[in-house]
Amino acid sequence: MRVLGIDPGSERTGFGVVESDGRSHRLVEFGAIHSGRGAFPDRLVRIERMLREVIVRTAPDVVAVEEAFHAVNVKSALKLGHARGVAILAAARDGIPIFEYSPLEVKSATVGYGRAEKHQVQEMVRLLLGLKESPQPFDAADALAVAICHIHHSGSLKSRGLDGRIR
């Protein structure tokens, strides 16, 4: 199974593609999309276009997107919601199954502790993927963690007869 994990953000969107047989994971590609400066709609277009390029290039079987956390700043939360919508749209255009995971689920699945800090997630992703160095930036490491989270959850979803997809 090949999973594209996405950590959406209005300024920087992390992505990471992991291939797995359920026991061992292999890094395919990771990075961060910098939306740049300019009008917000133009930044959203850039995020969608770049994610489409990743999807075409890597051909994921599934897309896993991190859910929005509860932000104190309403304006930031709304912008994050727009970026998430664009990420979901990029995958939905090809009919790729899309799953969502909360930050707590992602951290629990990768680190074993739902309140883990960014550097702990980064280090665990490095270990799970057998990388020499921790993936940079944090957004890309978080996206890889989202992909790994889906891989860990996909077995339990199947065993319970659930698919967990966004409806």
Q: pLDDT tens, 156-165?
A: 555 444 455 5
**Average pLDDT value over all residues in the chain:** 91
- Would residue 66 show up in a list of annotated catalytic residues for this protein? yes
* Cβ-contact 9, 139 below 8 angstroms: yes
Q: CA separation (Å) from 132 to 45, 129, 153?
A: 34, 9, 26
What are the backbone dihedrals phi and psi of residue 64, each rounded to the nearest 5 degrees, phi first?
-120, 130
Largest CA distance in the chain: 47
Q: Among residues 48, 66, 105, 142, which one is catalytic?
A: 66
Q: Among residues 48, 100, 105, 139, which one is catalytic?
A: 139
| Regions in the chain scoring below 70 on pLDDT | 70-71, 156-167
User: Is domain 2-159 classified as CATH 3.30.420.10?
Assistant: yes
Q: Among residues 7, 48, 100, 142, which one is catalytic?
A: 7
Task: Look at residues 37, 5, 39 and name the one whose alpha carbon lies nearest to residue 20.
Answer: 5
Contacts of 95 by beta carbon, 8 Å cutoff, 6+ apart: none
Which pLDDT does position 11 carry in this prediction? 93
